[in-house]
Amino acid sequence: MYLLAGTAIAALATSCAASPGYLKLGLQRRAPPEGRLIRRQNSGGSVDALVTQNTNKAEYLVNITVGTPPQDLSVTLDTGSSDLWIPASSAKLCQQGKCDLGAFDPSKSSTYNVIEEGGFNITYVQVGDTDAGDWSSDTITVGGSPSIKDQQLGVATALFDQHGVMGIGFDTIEASNDSPNGVYPSVLDNLKSTGIIDRKAFSLYLNDLEATKGAVIFGGIDTTKYSGDLVALPLQPGPDGSVSEYFVTLTSVSFSDSAGQTTQLSPEGYAQAALLDSGTTNTLLTNDVLGPLALGLGAVVDPSGEAYLVPCSLSSANGTIDYSFGGEDGITIQVPVSQVVGGQVYTSSEFDDPSGGCVLAFGSTAEGGGASIFGDSFLRSAYAVFDIDNQIAALAQAVENEESTSSIVVFPTGTTIPSATVTATATGTQLTELVSETDIPTASVQSSTLVPGTPTFSLEAASSTATTTGGSSSSSSSSSAAANNAVNAAIPTAALLGLGLAAAGMVGL
């Protein structure tokens, strides 16, 4: 069921708060209305990502107003882009009543101004999958903030999507960079220049898969939303040598099973730049890591080649996927298996398991142009801090469903991330070519029923699993070499959770 615009906006407004030096906004989680494949705009040369978004995707929404008098809209919060764009009420989809999170009518705003008619365009993978319109400016508010005048934004009159996006990335990846309009002050820039925040920095708390609400704090950190150390990670440059996106260094991936044993999945010396992207649902991994992980969980490839399937009962299994960032002085974030099992796409009569068949929120870096991308299926388990001014991110283990208390520390002017205890030193690079593909079996069919795989990880009731904060997980047993060498053949490169399964009525992650 889709949220009505009024319902979504009211829910978001009640959780927004402003205070000197920071702005806290509530995030509302919902499944989007239609499937889409996005090619991210990129002028910085670091990643041209094919990002799968469909009915298995959860979007995280914030409330804004645009115009004078203000018109209410909800938009997707996206760390992987930098533009604010909104649907125009004159767009065909909006005229059909499909813009359920609000649409903007320029004729009703006395402060609206067109900057470049027809200049706004975001292109998608498939022909016609485009949002396009005018580059414009108007007065906006973000979650009840003071007014920001003359904010540049795209007003889309030709829509593929039913609602807009507020990008909070680097200016250098704005979609306008290739047009005469060039780089312009983003929403983050203007939050700082108007004195709402002291620094272009923010923290993100998506909360777990069962929660419907999270929060973003511009200019501050909530110390009640994470446990253990908050570790600072220098952002990594792209192939052109510039820092233009939220890439950090991934140095290890392992699996801790229900028996307390750890299996190393990444090869020795692994150091891969990984993009932290709230606008992507899944986690895209290099094939030498994805293969052992999928096989260990007993995943099989859907016959369409569009998804990795597991029994839905895996959503209650024990075990964690452990991602280490920054090397020996870095941080390890543990993601429970339950947080990466998506909605049911096959019933028990179609998939040979009493619980039916569900999808895994993983994909190959082949879908992201070679870049590792850590989307919502990872970020729900992490408390993430992004500091554009100082080109630093910071990560800590998120505390699940902590909504009763709050302790916000404001980012001061300068270089310090509040409460961060360590700055990791390891560096990583983006792949220039794809890792050899990995053999994950396609689901076999017996009497018109798909057959699940057999897990090699222990996924029964847990005894204990230790949480680590170092750069490499401790292990009682290791099988990295055997796991990696045993599975080098051909992994399907079709988009994970693609449009072929959208008609199956996927439940959102």
Q: Which domains are assigned to the chain?
A: 5-197 (2.40.70.10), 222-504 (2.40.70.10)
Contacting residues for 484 by C-beta, under 8 A, at least 6 apart: 265, 267, 288, 291, 292
The token pair that represents 155 in the structure block: 């007003």
The pLDDT of residue 504 is 31
User: What tens-digit pLDDT sequence spans the chain (509 residues)?
Assistant: 222 233 333 334 334 444 579 999 999 998 755 433 333 333 333 222 223 333 345 789 999 999 999 999 999 999 988 999 999 999 999 999 999 999 999 999 999 999 999 999 876 444 456 788 999 999 999 998 999 999 999 999 988 778 899 999 999 888 876 655 678 999 999 999 999 999 999 999 999 888 889 999 999 999 999 999 999 999 999 878 889 999 999 999 999 998 889 999 999 999 999 999 998 888 999 989 999 999 999 999 888 777 889 999 999 999 999 999 999 889 999 999 999 998 888 888 888 899 999 999 998 886 655 678 999 999 999 999 999 999 999 999 999 887 778 999 999 888 888 888 767 767 766 554 444 455 665 655 555 578 877 877 887 744 443 333 333 333 333 443 333 333 333 323 222 233 233 323 333 46
The pLDDT of residue 178 is 61
**Is the distance from CB of 394 to CB of 230 less than 8 angstroms?**
yes
Look up the pTM and report it: 0.81
The pLDDT of residue 58 is 72
Identify the helix (H) or strand (E) that includes residue 396. strand 392-398
Strand extents, DSSP E, 104-219:
113-123, 130-142, 148-158, 165-167, 201-205, 213-218
**Is the distance from CB of 434 to CB of 288 less than 8 angstroms?**
no
Query: CA-to-CA distance for 65 and 147, rounded, in angstroms?
Result: 9
Nearest to 250 by CA among 236, 230, 264: 236
Side chain identity at residue 443, one-letter code: A
Contacting residues for 396 by C-beta, under 8 A, at least 6 apart: 226, 227, 228, 229, 230, 231, 331, 382, 383
**Is the distance from CB of 488 to CB of 438 less than 8 angstroms?**
yes
* Catalytic site positions: 78, 277
Query: CA-to-CA distance for 44 and 46, rounded, in angstroms?
Result: 6
The pLDDT of residue 278 is 92
Q: Is 407 exposed, middle or buried (0-12, 13-18, 19+ CB in 10 A)?
A: exposed
